[in-house]
Amino acid sequence: MPSASVYTVAVRALCEFTAKRGDLDLRFTPSPTGAEGVEGHGVVTARRGVGYQTEVALSGDWGPLRVRGRADGWDPVARRLEEIKTYRGDLAHVPDNHRQLHWAQARVYGALICHQLGLQQVALALVYYNIDTRQETVFTETGEAATLQAFFEEQCRHFAAWSAQETAHRAARDEALRALAFPMPAFRTGQRELAEAVYRAARAGRCLMAQAPTGIGKTVGTLFPLLRAMPPDASRAGSGLDKVFYLAAKTPGRQLALDALQSLRAGLPKAPLRVLELVARDKACEHPDKACHGESCPLARGFYDRLSAARQAAVDAAGAGLLARERVRAVALQHQVCPYYLAQELARWADAVVGDYNYWFDTSALLFALTQMDGWRVAVLVDEAHNLVERARSMYSAELEQGALRALRRSAAPVSPPLKRALDRLNRHWNALQREQRTPYAASQALPDAFVEALNRTLATLTDLQADQPALAGELALSGADLQRFYFDALHFARLAESFGPHSLFDITLRPGRAPLPERPAASTLCIRNLVPAPHLQPRLAAAQAVVLFSATLSPQAYHADLLGLPANTAWIDVPSPFTARQLSVGVARHISTRWADRSRSLAPIVDAIAGQFAARPGLYLAFFSSYDYLDQVFALLREQHPDLPCWEQQRQMPEAAREAFLARFMPGAQGVGFAVLGGAFAEGIDLPGERLIGAFIATLGLPQVNPVNEQIRARMEAVFVGRGYDYTYLYPGLQKVVQAAGRVIRSPVDEGVLVLMDDRFSRAEVRALLPAWWEARETGSEQFRE
């Protein structure tokens, strides 16, 4: 076992650090998926002879450095070591600096195997395998052991100063974290219980679901124990954490985590904790009109030549404060490198990373990929985890619009006949798919193989065309066609098609207004719709030492555990609410039915209830509805009947400034009712304590609309989770939205307020069972509810 002073580095990470030069160039991407890469390696190695070895574990030391990795292939008879790379398109378009990196890896492996087997010479082969054509191109060289050893030592020397710095940083960090004190004078009610459960999960290496109410300080309450769990325990081999990832569904959650880490960091002498914020490309990009390669973007040109200085400057800057978006940007611009890709590099060297769910759970998640490559021990915190089911479904779903394909075909005709031909072929397959369809929507449990094959062929053509004609996308853009967008959508679709299974369905939605006739095919949308994300998420859950999913609304536990694929030994904690029934008057207006058939009859009593409550206790309220249409109808009637009652409404696709203006009306001393939709921007993640919000009205149970898609989901849920089809599709997601929205009213132990649940179904036992235990709902008739 290496001692604490040994710094272990993967061959690939070492070479990426030492041997990458020149421009950042993403024209060669998208590269094959991980699954395609694995399959490609399998194809190549299966072609080799008897005795050929794969995944050969190799390691070697140089001073305090331990370099290790797995060589792709070794032929002991020919004494040939192979490094296999999969790719798409034209091999000539692999940038030189990528090839140099591949050779560096092969040479380091060559040195390690010569040393390990006592060889004087070895043959080195770079095998490039084309995923689409299934052909290999092989480059070879002969490596003398002494030359390879010199190369290996040169890489190690290059890395030595950095690894020494990292070793010292890690030691200082762990020592400081051992003494980390809780940053508040005392734990809040329930906060200690939560923190202890998180700590136990991290030490035991398991998942934890933590349902904990608003206001107990969940962010600090989960980060603090994980930081305390980072230093290894001297008595337990393989204990401790390399990194903590805090993943949020929305931007405000990220900011809360950064604030909490700031306060925790302030308690560490010399603050040796590197905290990094990852933001989306469109927020970090300095040249949104350019492409990510040196011929287009100045911050990509010579990126790797300047990266070393920028990386050191960023790490130095981390001592002075969080590596939040602005600080990373300042360092990047000072060194003239791209801030977005600099942040990605810094993820390797940060102790705590704050970012979106995508970075761990998505199909091409950066943090997940780095963790796998470098063998990190990480803990993953999933904030507002009730969002993960829907977010994961969308990550593993893909849509293709036929309208986009047709627009592209039209634009391609004068610009690129080969492109036009490829798109024509795909369009014919597409039309054939829907020729027999007589209903607007049809779902299937199987993928149309012929179409998927045609899509893959089209993708191969598009890859080659774009590589041969880099200006092609720009030329098409002049006529309004978005080749890149179509390409990436198609690629995502094709990749998800590879892992299609009972967790998803394939559906076709015909666009309205065009009756499908053989001579006049309708345009349609094709969708791979993920329903049960569990099979996709399980490898991600397994790759972390601990995953903590926390939220105020994780009930019913089984619903989330089933859909997310949590392991059977996942721990569960339900932290009791510090709030009391005295703080929140909950009324069920059971004289109102918000069922679809009763909607028009419900408008007047809803308006009466809102206006009556407001008259009895003027102040600031939120009124939630299940749809914009419903919201608009009630809003219009309230305005008509009570023109003096101040009210304002959430808009469809509200820009950020308008959202801020909506919230700005919730100021102490103000009065009125903000109308919003359940599940929307104002139904969770906003904090309006005290007088800023004294009550909420919730019309409907938030049940998703009954439509063909949801009915398909219900049927699939019923098949997979027998007896749970309706609950998993409608009831649980709906009530979760209700509880989230209602949670806006009481934000602290001193808040008091009113909640009016408008629908008779809130009286039912099965619905009541899904509401927080501390609520004491009273039924009201047509009389007003005016606590």
Query: Closest approach of Cβ 337 to ligand SF4, in Å?
Result: 8
Nearest to 280 by CA among 331, 340, 326, 333: 340
- Rank residues 162 and 341 by Cβ distance to ligand SF4 and give the closer one: 341
- Rank residues 134 and 281 by Cβ distance to ligand SF4 and give the closer one: 281
- Rank residues 14 and 292 by Cβ distance to ligand SF4 and give the closer one: 292
For 626-780, list the strands marked E by DSSP. 647-649, 672-677, 695-699, 753-758, 777-780
Query: Closest approach of Cβ 488 to ligand SF4, in Å?
Result: 15
Site track for ligand SF4 across 519-558, x = CB under 6 A: ----------------------------------------
- Rank residues 267 and 298 by Cβ distance to ligand SF4 and give the closer one: 298
Is the distance from CB of 617 to CB of 694 less than 8 angstroms?
A: yes
Rounded CA-CA distance 245/369 in Å is 13
Residues in the chain: 787
- Rank residues 25 and 351 by Cβ distance to ligand SF4 and give the closer one: 25
Phi/psi for 647 (5° steps) reads -150, 155
The piece of 295-303, 365-373, 483-491, 697-705 that touches ligand SF4 (CB under 6 A) is 295-303
Is the distance from CB of 330 to CB of 350 less than 8 angstroms?
A: no
- Rank residues 281 and 514 by Cβ distance to ligand SF4 and give the closer one: 281
Query: Closest approach of Cβ 252 to ligand SF4, in Å?
Result: 24
| SS3 annotation, 496-521 | HHHCCCCCEEEEEEECCCCCCECCEC
- Rank residues 260 and 332 by Cβ distance to ligand SF4 and give the closer one: 332
- Rank residues 342 and 389 by Cβ distance to ligand SF4 and give the closer one: 342
**Identity at 167, one-letter amino acid code:** T
Query: Closest approach of Cβ 128 to ligand SF4, in Å?
Result: 25
Rounded CA-CA distance 84/205 in Å is 34
- Rank residues 286 and 390 by Cβ distance to ligand SF4 and give the closer one: 286
In DSSP terms, 505 is beta-bridged to 529
Site for ligand SF4 contains 283 (CB under 6 A):
no
**What number of other Cβ atoms are within 10 A of residue 667's Cβ?**
11
Is the distance from CB of 493 to CB of 433 less than 8 angstroms?
A: no
Residue choice 14, 15, 201, 300 for contact with ligand SF4 (CB under 6 A):
300
The piece of 226-234, 278-286, 312-320, 594-602 that touches ligand SF4 (CB under 6 A) is 278-286
Rg of the Cα atoms in the chain? 29
The piece of 144-152, 174-182, 293-301, 518-526 that touches ligand SF4 (CB under 6 A) is 293-301
Residues in CB range of 197: below 8 A, 6 or more apart: 208, 210, 571, 573
CA 293 to chain centre: 25
Nearest to 753 by CA among 693, 697, 684: 693
Query: Closest approach of Cβ 314 to ligand SF4, in Å?
Result: 15
- Rank residues 286 and 424 by Cβ distance to ligand SF4 and give the closer one: 286
Residue choice 156, 299, 370, 483 for contact with ligand SF4 (CB under 6 A):
299
CA dihedral 195, 213, 205, 276 (to 10 degrees): -80
Query: Closest approach of Cβ 292 to ligand SF4, in Å?
Result: 3
Rounded CA-CA distance 744/737 in Å is 11
> How far is the first Cα of the chain from the last one, in angstroms, to the nearest whole number?
67
- Rank residues 284 and 622 by Cβ distance to ligand SF4 and give the closer one: 284
Site for ligand SF4 contains 279 (CB under 6 A):
no
Query: Closest approach of Cβ 777 to ligand SF4, in Å?
Result: 51
For 259-406, list the strands marked E by DSSP. 275-277, 352-356, 378-382, 398-401
Residue choice 209, 276, 292, 634 for contact with ligand SF4 (CB under 6 A):
292
Residues in CB range of 383: below 8 A, 6 or more apart: 218, 219, 246, 247, 248, 249, 253, 256, 257, 550, 551
Token pair of 472, please? 């092609």
Query: Closest approach of Cβ 646 to ligand SF4, in Å?
Result: 44
Query: Closest approach of Cβ 394 to ligand SF4, in Å?
Result: 23
Residue choice 297, 318, 389, 638 for contact with ligand SF4 (CB under 6 A):
297
Query: Closest approach of Cβ 332 to ligand SF4, in Å?
Result: 9
- Rank residues 29 and 641 by Cβ distance to ligand SF4 and give the closer one: 29
Q: Which residue has the tokens 């191969």?
A: 460
Query: Closest approach of Cβ 334 to ligand SF4, in Å?
Result: 15
- Rank residues 292 and 606 by Cβ distance to ligand SF4 and give the closer one: 292
Residue choice 136, 166, 174, 286 for contact with ligand SF4 (CB under 6 A):
286
For 298-444, list the strands marked E by DSSP. 352-356, 378-382, 398-401, 441-444
Site for ligand SF4 contains 310 (CB under 6 A):
no
For 518-599, list the strands marked E by DSSP. 524-530, 546-551, 571-574, 584-589
Site for ligand SF4 contains 287 (CB under 6 A):
yes
Query: Closest approach of Cβ 356 to ligand SF4, in Å?
Result: 16
DSSP 8-state symbol, 565: T
Residue choice 47, 281, 428, 601 for contact with ligand SF4 (CB under 6 A):
281
Question: Per CB under 6 A, which of residues 328..357 are in contact with ligand SF4?
Answer: 338, 340-341
Site for ligand SF4 contains 290 (CB under 6 A):
yes
- Rank residues 293 and 747 by Cβ distance to ligand SF4 and give the closer one: 293
Is the distance from CB of 493 to CB of 400 less than 8 angstroms?
A: yes
Question: Per CB under 6 A, which of residues 3..42 are in contact with ligand SF4?
Answer: 24
Query: Closest approach of Cβ 291 to ligand SF4, in Å?
Result: 6
- Rank residues 297 and 454 by Cβ distance to ligand SF4 and give the closer one: 297
Query: Closest approach of Cβ 342 to ligand SF4, in Å?
Result: 9
- Rank residues 281 and 435 by Cβ distance to ligand SF4 and give the closer one: 281
Query: Closest approach of Cβ 25 to ligand SF4, in Å?
Result: 10
Residue choice 114, 285, 546, 607 for contact with ligand SF4 (CB under 6 A):
285
Rounded CA-CA distance 160/171 in Å is 16
Token pair of 529, please? 């719709």
Rounded CA-CA distance 613/607 in Å is 10
Rounded CA-CA distance 58/659 in Å is 56
Rounded CA-CA distance 496/420 in Å is 25
- Rank residues 56 and 285 by Cβ distance to ligand SF4 and give the closer one: 285
Q: How many residues bind ligand SF4 (CB under 6 A)?
A: 13
**What number of other Cβ atoms are within 10 A of residue 699's Cβ?**
27
The piece of 95-103, 294-302, 513-521, 537-545 that touches ligand SF4 (CB under 6 A) is 294-302
Query: Closest approach of Cβ 322 to ligand SF4, in Å?
Result: 21
CA 60 to chain centre: 36
Rounded CA-CA distance 270/293 in Å is 39
Q: Which residue has the tokens 């805090």?
A: 246
- Rank residues 67 and 292 by Cβ distance to ligand SF4 and give the closer one: 292
**What number of other Cβ atoms are within 10 A of residue 270's Cβ?**
9
The piece of 84-92, 290-298, 580-588, 681-689 that touches ligand SF4 (CB under 6 A) is 290-298
Rounded CA-CA distance 81/123 in Å is 6
Token pair of 323, please? 């590596």
Using CB under 6 A as the criterion, which residues of the chain lie in contact with ligand SF4 when the complex forms?
Answer: 24, 281, 285-287, 290, 292, 297, 299-300, 338, 340-341
